[in-house]
Structure 1
Amino acid sequence: MWSTFVMTLKANLRNRQALFWLIVFPLALATLFNGMLGDLAKGYEVRALPLAVVEDANWDQAPGAQAFIGAMSGQATASGQAAESGNAAESEQDATEYATVERLVDATPAESIDGARAALADGSAKGYLRVDGDGRIALALSPSAAEAMGGISPTDTNGAVAVAVLNSMIGLYNRTDATVRDLLAAHPEAASSQAFWSSVGNTAGAAREVSLTNVKPDMTARYFYALLGMACLMAMGYAISAVTYAQANLSPLGIRRTVAPLGRGRQLLAGFLAGWLCSGVSLTIALAYIRYVCDVPLGGREPAAVAAVAVASFMACALGTMIGAIPRLRHSVKVGLTSAIPCALSLFSGLYGQFAMDLSDWIARHAPVLALINPAQQVTNLFYDILYYDSYRPFIGTCGVLLAMSAVFLAAGAAMLKEQRYEHL
């Protein structure tokens, strides 16, 4: 059995076609993805938005708004400045701790609204901020900027994200300012209470940045994971060859192996283990390239990703064993299936662009059973489970699904091989 394992391993290493599909093809496609999608995530980063700031009479009467916009522009302001002013909007400074706010605004001063609109016209600003008579802040965008940021497919994704964040913070400022003014109008004595201003600050600071996933989501990771699912299924070619070359009616080598003293079961086991080893190593190389060269995250769980490759390659070899055991099917046809099946199933795991991604999501929502029985989708889910879930439970569940598939494939292959008989050799 050991000799058969070694000889099968050598034969697999000489199989240039299999090595191409398992090593060269994933690396080439991953490089292509990295070149095409490498800057996709940068389109969703928050960057400072060039805005004009109307510094008129209303602006001079609103020190809280000045401190707020100054903080959004990256200007650190002492936390006690507003308290000394005695203005009702002073609570905003204590509430937001401006020195730690990320820079959202690239401010350009303007003496009036007409000056701000002139900045919009010459393209130096995409909008402007102004303060009304009640001390509330308003944001206005130029028509061209609003169209670029607010369309169905916005061309200025960074600006759209910045506007969404800035609009949310301005809304918080205005609501808190209005609430404080109403409370002070009804209870003027509260202005002298430190506890009151502290409670306002705690309310305004109630929003906190939280992560709903194990790590920050990556916009391109899904394509690379789908690529690993496709490459994994192509690994079944090793098992197909191992089973085919053990059948007397498909190759001269199969005739010699049939009359050999080593039993068919041991021959098939040796071929299966050799194929599993080759496919596992090949996919690990592809995984390492994707992780460290293409910089696709795995959530700091690289050992679990290697275990995922082992489970996925085992399933692929089990599927190859079943296909290789199909009677009266030529070896060339079976080898062709090693490309046809992965390419077809990868359509439903999201490999072929946004349409395929939407189709995969639709199947997962409306026909989860189809997603469950799709090996390519389950291999893709393995890496999703590693990256996004805090617990290993979803990952273990997906491993269980793939091992169950493997058991079904191996049982079907063993049943077909057991029934094969030859009248003569």
Structure 2
Amino acid sequence: MRSTFKATVKMLLRTPGAIVWALAFPILMATLFMFMFSSMRTDGAVDAVPVAVVADGAWEESTFSQVIESLASGDDALVAVREVDDAAEARSLLEEGEVDGTFEVDEAGVPHLTVAPESSDAHQGERGRSYGINRSILETLASSYVQSAALIEEVAASDPAALADPAAVARALSLEAGSERVSLTRGTPDETVRYYYALMGMAALFASQLSMLAVANIRPTASAVAARRSIAGVSRVRQLAGALAGSWLLSVAFLTIAFCYVRFVVNIDFAGREVLCLVGIAGSAFMAAGLGSLVGSLPLHGGASAGSGILTGLTCVLSIFAGLYGEPTMKLADAIARAVPVSAWVNPAKLVCDLFHSLYFYESLAPFAARLAACIAWGVVFFAFAAPLFRRQRYAHL
């Protein structure tokens, strides 16, 4: 068994296909995702809302202009002001998508907000994603000012003495409220991390190529060396176990390298549970090794090439239901998981995806432990089917 283990490790390290599928491909996909999702990931900072103001005499004399100026100053400015001479110029900027809204003050000092029409560039492309938030900010500024001004006028008319206390007026006009930040998830929600978790599921299934190649290499018909091994004193089950152990060790190593690349180069958050992620990788690699050993033990006419084709096709199909190929497949995966919950436990790619997902979102380790146990159980089941298949096969000649 020990000699089989060493021979398996050496053979796999010398096989270019094993290195490409189990190590290079996940890193390549992670790099591709990094460029694809770079525009969707933010640092949490709010960009200033571009707004045009008609800087005429009414604007200069209004107190609303002072409010906008205060919000446009400093490093954390809420609005980015662009002054224009008349409403026609402001409208032109609005239609071209240069600004998200325009402010104009009438002779009575009341501000008026004009927002971008549906056909403007503000609604298109990447800007369209943030336009709804920016519009809400501008509407809140205008409505809050109008409400505060109306409140001051009402107080002045009913109880002028109340305006003598500036602190009381400030409290009455303040929009502040006591609040406590509560997170329902362990990590800050990021819609892109799930694709990397699904990628880890795909990488785990591609790692099954290692055990498939290892088992195919020790079949008596694979080579003269394998034929001599088959008549040696070591039982076939022990040879299978040695090949499985060697391929599992390399699978763990390759998946760990891919994980470190995703964590430290792509900078994907794993909620500070990197050590538990490594434990999950070991369990995922065990399941992948069991799956590969089962496919490698099948009496296929094409040998390792046929087994590689089966595993590649199976990996690509199962990754669809883990949501790897974009937002439509992610919605499909969620819909299937809700309609048929057991599907998330029988799909290895989805199981590994949910393994990392549970560490990111849940404080409790129970969901992670359940999925880790499922990965190990599937590995045991696959090996239990592979062992008799490999041991009982008969050959016409060696």
Aligned length: 397
Is residue 284 from structure 1 mapped to residue 283 from structure 2 by the alignment?
Answer: no
- After superposition, the Cα gap between the structure-2 partners of 1:253 and 1:188, relative to the gap in structure 1 and judged at 3 Å, is farther
Q: Distance in 1 between matches of 2:298 and 2:145?
A: 70
Q: Distance in 2 between matches of 1:237 and 1:122?
A: 54
Tell me the residue number matched to 1:336: 309
Q: For structure 1, which runs of at least 5 residues remain unmatched after alignment?
A: 76-100
Tell me the residue number matched to 2:265: 293
Q: Distance in 1 between matches of 2:377 and 2:174?
A: 52
Alignment of 1:181-330 (within 5 A): 200=172, 204-206=176-178, 211-248=183-220, 252-327=224-299, 330=302
- After superposition, the Cα gap between the structure-2 partners of 1:265 and 1:252, relative to the gap in structure 1 and judged at 3 Å, is same
Residue pair 1:47, 1:158 contacting (<8 A) in 2 also: no
Tell me the residue number matched to 1:380: 353
Q: How far 1:276 moved relative to its partner? A: 0.7
Tell me the residue number matched to 1:140: 114
- After superposition, the Cα gap between the structure-2 partners of 1:241 and 1:163, relative to the gap in structure 1 and judged at 3 Å, is same
- The DSSP-based 3-state class of the residue aligned with 2:249 is helix
- AA partner of residue 258 (structure 1): S
Is residue 31 from structure 1 mapped to residue 31 from structure 2 by the alignment?
Answer: yes
- The DSSP-based 3-state class of the residue aligned with 1:143 is coil
Q: How far 1:53 moved relative to its partner? A: 2.6
Tell me the residue number matched to 1:414: 387
Q: Distance in 2 between matches of 1:226 and 1:412?
A: 27
Q: Distance in 2 between matches of 1:189 and 1:400?
A: 72
Is residue 163 from structure 1 mapped to residue 143 from structure 2 by the alignment?
Answer: no
How large is the RMSD of aligned CA atoms in angstroms? 3.8
Residue pair 1:51, 1:126 contacting (<8 A) in 2 also: yes
- After superposition, the Cα gap between the structure-2 partners of 1:242 and 1:164, relative to the gap in structure 1 and judged at 3 Å, is same
Alignment of 1:330-409 (within 5 A): 330-331=302-303, 332-409=305-382
Q: Distance in 1 between matches of 2:185 and 2:113?
A: 32
Tell me the residue number matched to 2:77: 103
Identity between Structure 1 and Structure 2 (%)? 33
Is residue 3 from structure 1 mapped to residue 23 from structure 2 by the alignment?
Answer: no
Residue pair 1:43, 1:158 contacting (<8 A) in 2 also: no
- The DSSP-based 3-state class of the residue aligned with 1:299 is coil
Q: Distance in 2 between matches of 1:399 and 1:256?
A: 38
Q: How far 1:316 moved relative to its partner? A: 0.5
Is residue 72 from structure 1 mapped to residue 45 from structure 2 by the alignment?
Answer: no
Q: Distance in 1 between matches of 2:66 and 2:179?
A: 19
Q: Distance in 1 between matches of 2:18 and 2:233?
A: 29
- After superposition, the Cα gap between the structure-2 partners of 1:52 and 1:325, relative to the gap in structure 1 and judged at 3 Å, is same
Deviations 1:158-200 (A, max 9, x none): 4444334444565566667667777887777765678965764
Q: How far 1:72 moved relative to its partner? A: 2.8
Deviations 1:239-267 (A, max 9, x none): 22333344446654443222211222322
Q: How far 1:342 moved relative to its partner? A: 0.9
Q: How far 1:275 moved relative to its partner? A: 0.5
Tell me the residue number matched to 2:101: 127
Tell me the residue number matched to 1:82: none
Q: How far 1:367 moved relative to its partner? A: 3.1
- The DSSP-based 3-state class of the residue aligned with 1:139 is strand
Q: Distance in 2 between matches of 1:176 and 1:412?
A: 75
Moved more, 325-334 or 132-141: 132-141
- The DSSP-based 3-state class of the residue aligned with 1:228 is helix
- The DSSP-based 3-state class of the residue aligned with 1:407 is helix
- The DSSP-based 3-state class of the residue aligned with 1:281 is helix
Q: Distance in 1 between matches of 2:300 and 2:365?
A: 43
Q: Distance in 2 between matches of 1:107 and 1:66?
A: 11
Moved more, 167-176 or 237-246: 167-176
Q: How far 1:103 moved relative to its partner? A: 2.0
Residue pair 2:123, 2:131 contacting (<8 A) in 1 also: no
Alignment of 1:28-67 (within 5 A): 28-41=28-41, 46-54=46-54, 63=63, 65-66=64-65
Moved more, 285-294 or 13-22: 285-294
Residue pair 1:235, 1:317 contacting (<8 A) in 2 also: yes
- The DSSP-based 3-state class of the residue aligned with 2:281 is helix
Q: Distance in 2 between matches of 1:113 and 1:209?
A: 41
Q: How far 1:381 moved relative to its partner? A: 2.1
Residue pair 2:22, 2:254 contacting (<8 A) in 1 also: yes
Q: How far 1:40 moved relative to its partner? A: 3.3
- The DSSP-based 3-state class of the residue aligned with 1:52 is strand
Residue pair 2:277, 2:356 contacting (<8 A) in 1 also: yes
Q: Distance in 2 between matches of 1:181 and 1:369?
A: 64
TM value normalised by structure 2 = 0.81
Deviations 1:22-63 (A, max 9, x none): 122222232233333323325996322321234668757864
TM value normalised by structure 1 = 0.77
- After superposition, the Cα gap between the structure-2 partners of 1:74 and 1:333, relative to the gap in structure 1 and judged at 3 Å, is same
Q: Distance in 2 between matches of 1:128 and 1:290?
A: 43
Deviations 1:265-322 (A, max 9, x none): 3222221111011111111112222222223333333222222221211110011122
Q: Distance in 2 between matches of 1:34 and 1:277?
A: 28
Residue pair 1:104, 1:162 contacting (<8 A) in 2 also: no
- AA partner of residue 276 (structure 2): A
Residue pair 1:149, 1:160 contacting (<8 A) in 2 also: no
- AA partner of residue 314 (structure 2): I
Residue pair 2:211, 2:247 contacting (<8 A) in 1 also: yes
- After superposition, the Cα gap between the structure-2 partners of 1:123 and 1:210, relative to the gap in structure 1 and judged at 3 Å, is same
